[in-house]
Amino acid sequence: MHIVPTQEDVVALLEQTGALRHGHFEYKNGLHANEYLQVPLAMRYYQHAKTLSVGLSRLVRANPEIRAVIPELSIVAPATGGLPVAYGVCEALRAHQVYWAERENENEPLRFRQYLKQVVDERVLLVDDILRTGTNLTQLKKLVESNGARVVGLAVVVYQPTPQTPDFSPLPFFYLAKLDGIYYQDAATCDLCQRGEALERIWV
């Protein structure tokens, strides 16, 4: 495998570990899709986790503005799914620290642990396993900026855009693989439903 794994390498690794599944899925927000991805299934294995996070860290390090602030850089994840990636990227970069946000329950906003204080002008790289709808990363960016810290970029293992995915430019955005799943707004517009293909409901 290359030092930065190719799109084909990443897809093969995700399929081999059961992290990438093909079929007919219904997400919690009602979207139907022809593929489903659960990166933590691939991150169960130390060697795969290392391959993905070291590859991603190399893309990040190639950015001169970010490379210049690595010793002070905070790696921040919006949820637990991003944690193995965040720790792997932090270790490979030798960045300053890792922490993450979470929410009390689904309807609560993201927040950090008690006593975790961000510093004004702190440089932050947002890291997650996947960018799909962008809800969590958008909220995390707002939370970080509301504390006076500065987001310098975003990095994810897989970019799987949906019609709702926001554009974070001009921030640099790094990903190892892009998956173009086919999404349908609901069952009524879903070709897979029309063809009567068995439906699996996604609960995460």
Q: Where do contacts with Zn ion occur on this chain (CB under 5 A)?
A: 32, 190, 192-193
At closest approach, how far in Å is the CB of 190 from Zn ion?
3
Min. distance of Cβ 27 from Zn ion in angstroms? 10
Q: What is the 3-state secondary structure (H, E, C) of 96-132?
A: CEEEECECCCCCCCCECCCCCCCCCCCEEEEEEEEEC
Question: What token pair was written down for 200?
Answer: 């699996």
Q: 10 Å Cβ neighbour count for 44? A: 12
For residue 200, the cross-strand partners are 25
Taking the complex as a whole, how short is the minimal distance between the CB of residue 186 and Zn ion, in angstroms?
A: 8
Residue (69 or 199) nearer to Zn ion, CB: 199
Output 65 or 191, the one with its CB closest to Zn ion: 191
Smallest distance, Zn ion to C-beta of residue 199, A:
6
Closer of 144 and 192 to Zn ion (Cβ): 192
Backbone torsion region of residue 180, taken as left when φ is above 0, otherwise alpha when ψ lies between -120 and 50, otherwise beta:
beta
- CA–CA separation, 86 and 73 (whole Å): 12
Cα separation values, 72 from 19, 68, 113, Å: 33, 9, 20
Identity of the residue, 8 or 180, whose beta carbon is nearer to Zn ion in the bound complex: 180
Min CB(45)–Zn ion separation in Å: 31
**Nearest 5 degrees, angle CA 66-CA 72-CA 77?**
75
Nearer to Zn ion, 145 or 200 (CB): 200
- Please, what is the Cα angle at 120 between 152 and 90, to 5 degrees? 45
